[in-house]
Structure 1
Amino acid sequence: MRICLIAEGSFPYVTGGVSSWITSLVTEMPEHEFIIFAIGAESKQKGKFKCELPPNIVEVHEIFLDAHRGEKTKWGKRYSFSPEEFETLSEFLKGSQSLQWDYLFKLLRSDNLQAPMDFLSSKDYFDIIEEFARESYPTVPFTELFWTVNSMILPLLLATRTELPEADVYHAVSTGYAGVIGALAKELYGKPLLLTEHGIYSREREEEIIKAEWVEGHFKDLWIRYFYTLSAAAYTYADQVITLFERNREIEIELGCSAGKIRIVPNGIETSGKMIAMEESEADQIRIGAIVRVVPIKDIKTMIQSFALVEREMQNVHLYIMGPTDENPEYYEECLALCDRLNLQRVYFTGMVSVQDWLPKLDILLLTSISEGQPLAILEGMAAKKPFVVTNVGSCKELMEGQPFDDIGPAGIVTAVMHTEQIAKALLKLCGNSTMRKVMGGNGFHRVSRDYRKDKFIASYREIYETIGGN
């Protein structure tokens, strides 16, 4: 079977949980051929893969959301849109939840719209935005709305006109642009679409936009509606939607996904071999580790501020932030500056490391994200018998405390998001109690060995592919 995995902002350009998940899925299914349809943010990423490609990845197709930005074009073209086409384009630009995606796909891929930049410079586009401005943004400068919508929809116009590889199954690993591409592939080729949501893409974009300085306050709602509109395409076209835990399933239903499509398949981790090797720390030193990309959604600044409170109380504690720092260099520099302002002496950014080599050296693991799905970093830490302090996002609480009627006991301490005092208090509690650390580590290992096994995860996806792929 030939399976096309559609990934946005992850494999093969970025290391992290989703990329590791893709690598594991592909590697464990050598009987299938995989095509990677990779959606990157910037054209400068082209061919610069940070992930090793398993041998059964037979093709990699790349598109970039910044393509054609800044291209020169002629203003004032007039298209011969029918009233229905004009209305469909208008609903798309306004973020309508009742958008007829099949009709929109045909329109966007028609010969009439071969050059997206020409459309964005046309009189028709101007008319649509002018009407939109009168209806929804009468007090906002028209040029601001015009260029905001332009920058918002250009990536999708470009993406929907790209050539898509043929496959037996299309598998989008998020909604957003990846989900739209998957929906388009199903529309073009009539092949089944599988959607896996690790986190809820539209909710994550909403959180980012609310905090973003680059989005004017009066346009935040417009951007948020746009990403919910994109997600609706994936939910509508998907033959089956896979999510990782119950709360995600509930949110997907709230967002309009049919409950009958949704199946829960947790992530899985190998719990044998060197992942569970233990190594005692120096008797008078406590090492806290965070296996994490240094990006805003992981909220490294709250992590640093929380550790500053811990360092005031204890002189023998160290924080190792282990993960890539080049994904958002500006944010990394801000984190370094924060460490300097707080005069922290025992915070170390290690960059990329071998997680399996580092886990045995650590006493406590820490995660302070503002959004997550079901983090592989937590599963790896549980497999290594490490206790956690985590924020209450995604499935973190479920991983730490178990599902209803779980009889194992806590594997860590769950805190509120961005609550530096709670996080610091939890860290101090674990730092000062080696027995608690050992018990929680053992509980985590028990839970992950029972409920989050790699063989069960792979078996589930093998069965899903065979069922929807017809082989």
Structure 2
Amino acid sequence: MRICLIAEGSYPYVTGGVSSWIHSLMHAMPEHEFIIYAIAAERKQQGQFKYALPTNVIEVHEFFLDDHIYEEAKWGKRYHLTDVQRNSLISLVNGSNNVDWAALFQLIRSNQFTNVGEFLSSKDYYELVEHLAKTKYTHVPFTELFWTVSSMILPLFMLLRGDVPKADIYHAVSTGYAGVVGALAKIIYDKPLILTEHGIYSREREEEIIKANWVKGYFKDLWINYFYTLSHSIYSLADEIITLFGRNKEIQVELGCEPERIRIIPNGIDIHDYNQVVRTVKDDTIRIGAIVRLVPIKDIKMMIQAFALVEQQLSNVELFIMGPAEENEEYYEECLQLVQLLNIRNIKFTGMVNIKEYLGDMDFLLLSSISEGQPLAILEGFACSKPFISTNVGSCRELIEGRLDDHFGPAGFIVPVMHYEEMANYMVKLCLDEPLRLEMGKNGFNRVACDYTRQAFITSYKEIYRTLGAVM
């Protein structure tokens, strides 16, 4: 069977998290062929893969959201839009779930729609923005609205005009642009479509846009609603919608998913892969670790601020931040400046490493994210019997404290997002209490060994592929 995995901003350009999940899924299914449809922000990422691709990957189809800068515009064309097409375009930019995606796809991929830049210079597009200006944005400059909407839909339309590889099953690993490509493939080829949503994409974009300096305040809701609308495309068309834990399912239902179409399949890990992880250094130093990409959504600055407070109280502590920094070099530099400003002595930024070479010497681990799904980092830490202190995001509370029917006991502590003082207090508590660290580490190990196995995760997806493949 040939399966097209559609990923945005992750595999194969970024390590960890969703990328690790994709890599593990393909490795576990040598009986299938995989096509990677990879959506990335910038063409300079082309071919810059962070993974050695499994042998059953037969193609990597790359699309870059900045490619629209190369398209020339021709002015003055008039399109003859049907009412359905016009209303779908209005719904798209208006933040509505009433988009007729089949009609929109047909328009954008039709012969009359030969140049996206040409459409954005047409009378039809002008009238579209004019409608938006009169109905929702009466007090903002029309020119700003015109170019803001252009910057929103231009990369999307370029994406939709691109080639979609033929496959037996399409599997998007997020909503957003990846979800729209999945919906497009479903319409074009009438093949089964699966969505696995690790975190809630539209919520994550909302959090980023609220904090973003590049979006003016009065346009933030325009961008936020746009991403919610994109996400609804695959919610409405997917044959299978999968999430990782109960709270995510509740949010998906709030966003318009039919609850009976959603199933929960947790992430899984093989604890035996970590049998060789052992402590190699025996001294009085307490080593704290974080397996994390250095990007704003992981809120590394909170972690640094918390450690600064810990270092003021304890002299024998070190923090190892283990993960790549090149994804957002500006943010990495800001983190280094914060370390210097706070006069912190014992933080080590390791860059990309083999975490198995480090985990054995860690006493406990941290996660300070603003948003998460079901972090593989926590499962990896638990597989090595390491307790966690984490912000209350995604399924972190469920992983650390257990579900209602759980009998293993707490495997760490949960703190509110951005509350670095509370994180610091728990860090000091674990630093000073070795028996508690060992007990919580054991609880985490037992929980992951029972409830989050790689075998269960892979078996579930093999059955989904088999079932959907049988009805093609």
Q: TM-score range with shorter-chain normalisation?
A: over 0.9
Residue number in structure 1 paired with 2:296: 296
Residue number in structure 2 paired with 1:136: 136
Residue number in structure 2 paired with 1:124: 124
SS at match of 1:287: strand
| CA distances 1:161-201 after superposition (whole Å, capped 9, x unpaired) | 11111111000000000001001101000000000000000
Kindly indicate whether residue 359 of structure 2 is the aligned counterpart of residue 359 of structure 1.
Answer: yes
Conserved in 2, the CA contact under 8 Å of 1:276 and 1:384? no
| CA distances 1:310-338 after superposition (whole Å, capped 9, x unpaired) | 11111110111000000000000000011
CA distance in 1, matches of 2:280, 2:388: 17
- The 5-angstrom pairing of residues 250-265 of structure 1 reads 250-265=250-265
Residue number in structure 2 paired with 1:444: 444
Kindly indicate whether residue 153 of structure 2 is the aligned counterpart of residue 156 of structure 1.
Answer: no
Conserved in 2, the CA contact under 8 Å of 1:281 and 1:362? no
Bigger drift between 23-32 and 95-104 goes to 95-104
CA distance in 1, matches of 2:277, 2:75: 65
CA distance in 1, matches of 2:199, 2:84: 35
Residue number in structure 1 paired with 2:375: 375
Residue number in structure 1 paired with 2:85: 85
Conserved in 1, the CA contact under 8 Å of 2:84 and 2:100? no
Measure how far apart 1:73 and its partner are: 1.7
CA distance in 2, matches of 1:83, 1:176: 25
Return the letter of the residue paired with 1:379: L
Conserved in 2, the CA contact under 8 Å of 1:323 and 1:352? yes
| CA distances 1:355-407 after superposition (whole Å, capped 9, x unpaired) | 11111011110000000001111100000000110000000000001111211
Residue number in structure 1 paired with 2:394: 394
| CA distances 1:222-248 after superposition (whole Å, capped 9, x unpaired) | 101000001100100100111100000
Return the letter of the residue paired with 1:30: P
Return the letter of the residue paired with 1:9: G
CA distance in 2, matches of 1:286, 1:74: 64
Measure how far apart 1:286 and its partner are: 0.5
Residue number in structure 1 paired with 2:24: 24
Return the letter of the residue paired with 2:51: C
CA distance in 2, matches of 1:89, 1:275: 55
CA distance in 2, matches of 1:48, 1:419: 36
Measure how far apart 1:273 and its partner are: 4.6
Conserved in 1, the CA contact under 8 Å of 2:235 and 2:257? yes
Residue number in structure 1 paired with 2:347: 347
Cα pair distance change 1:240/1:273, threshold 3 Å: closer
CA distance in 2, matches of 1:60, 1:280: 40
Conserved in 2, the CA contact under 8 Å of 1:36 and 1:59? yes
Bigger drift between 78-87 and 97-106 goes to 78-87
| CA distances 1:72-110 after superposition (whole Å, capped 9, x unpaired) | 322222222233322222222222211111111111111
Residue number in structure 2 paired with 1:406: 406
Kindly indicate whether residue 410 of structure 2 is the aligned counterpart of residue 418 of structure 1.
Answer: no
SS at match of 2:132: helix
Measure how far apart 1:60 and its partner are: 0.8
Conserved in 2, the CA contact under 8 Å of 1:276 and 1:383? no
CA distance in 1, matches of 2:370, 2:41: 22
Residue number in structure 1 paired with 2:336: 336
CA distance in 1, matches of 2:326, 2:277: 30
Return the letter of the residue paired with 1:271: I
Residue number in structure 1 paired with 2:68: 68
Cα pair distance change 1:103/1:317, threshold 3 Å: same
Kindly indicate whether residue 198 of structure 2 is the aligned counterpart of residue 198 of structure 1.
Answer: yes
CA distance in 1, matches of 2:68, 2:96: 26
- The 5-angstrom pairing of residues 41-56 of structure 1 reads 41-56=41-56
CA distance in 2, matches of 1:437, 1:469: 47
SS at match of 2:68: coil
Bigger drift between 169-178 and 130-139 goes to 130-139
- The 5-angstrom pairing of residues 90-239 of structure 1 reads 90-239=90-239
SS at match of 2:360: helix
Measure how far apart 1:276 and its partner are: 6.0
Bigger drift between 169-178 and 278-287 goes to 278-287
Return the letter of the residue paired with 1:213: N
CA distance in 1, matches of 2:281, 2:314: 16
CA distance in 2, matches of 1:4, 1:274: 30
Return the letter of the residue paired with 2:438: K
SS at match of 1:111: coil
CA distance in 2, matches of 1:248, 1:85: 33
Measure how far apart 1:283 and its partner are: 3.0
Return the letter of the residue paired with 1:451: D
- The 5-angstrom pairing of residues 258-297 of structure 1 reads 258-275=258-275, 277-279=277-279, 281-297=281-297
Measure how far apart 1:151 and its partner are: 0.5
Conserved in 1, the CA contact under 8 Å of 2:84 and 2:103? no
CA distance in 2, matches of 1:206, 1:310: 32
CA distance in 1, matches of 2:277, 2:96: 53
Conserved in 1, the CA contact under 8 Å of 2:88 and 2:98? no
Measure how far apart 1:280 and its partner are: 6.0
CA distance in 1, matches of 2:278, 2:435: 15
Measure how far apart 1:68 and its partner are: 2.1
Q: Normalising to structure 2: TM-score of the pair?
A: 0.98
Q: Normalising to structure 1: TM-score of the pair?
A: 0.98
Moved over 6 A (4+): none
CA distance in 2, matches of 1:274, 1:163: 41
Return the letter of the residue paired with 1:446: N
CA distance in 1, matches of 2:112, 2:137: 29
SS at match of 1:62: strand
Return the letter of the residue paired with 1:108: I
Return the letter of the residue paired with 2:181: I
Cα pair distance change 1:129/1:270, threshold 3 Å: same
CA distance in 1, matches of 2:244, 2:26: 18
CA distance in 2, matches of 1:94, 1:458: 40
